[in-house]
Amino acid sequence: NAPLLGKDHYKMTPLNGGKDIWEKLLSQTDNICLLICGHYAEANESFADNVGFRTDKNKAGNDVFQMMFNTQALGGGLSGNGGDGWLRVLEFMPDGKTVHVITYSPLFAFSPRTKHLAVDTAPYNSFSFIIE
């Protein structure tokens, strides 16, 4: 039973940027191992520029996996399909450690003409990691 964050009195304030969140909370907390974020403000059509994954160590030396998934700019952005319905699916395996990640679009899966595009298999969109 890990302690709740509310009891720990972190120096978080409204409108913290990513660096502030890392320095004030994530790097200081030994029981947070996964961060999922999105809505990076760069509007372009490159999938690779709108997703990211990295692993950093917190102050206790534990891995913190950080995943950014921002697809609303794809498919024409706000004036088009608004992201083509892309979803990031995380499958937590029975071993309690392994996480498989896939990137899936139900919009593409719906049509027989685009069904083959429904799962993006690029290495930045289909991967696994292990939480120790």
pLDDT for 55-95, tens place per residue? 999 999 999 999 998 887 676 665 666 678 889 999 999 99
Higher pLDDT, residue 41 or 36: 36
Domain that holds residue 117: 33-130
Report the pLDDT value the prediction gives residue 50, as an integer from 0 to 100: 80
pLDDT tier for residue 10 given thresholds of 50, 70 and 90: low
Q: State the DSSP string of the chain.
A: -PPPGGGS-----SS--HHHHHHHTGGG-TT--EEEE---S---S-SGGGEEEEEEE-TTS-EEEEEEE--TTSTTGGGTTSSTT-EEEEEE-TTSSEEEEEEE-HHHHHSTTTGGGSEE-STTTSEEEE--
57 part of a folded domain: yes
At 77 the pLDDT is: 62
Residue scoring higher pLDDT (76 or 16): 16
Report how far apart the first and last C-alpha atoms of the chain are (Å, whole number).
Answer: 17
Looking at per-residue pLDDT, the higher value among 23 and 50 belongs to: 23
Is residue 3 predicted with pLDDT exceeding 80? no
Domain count across the chain: 1
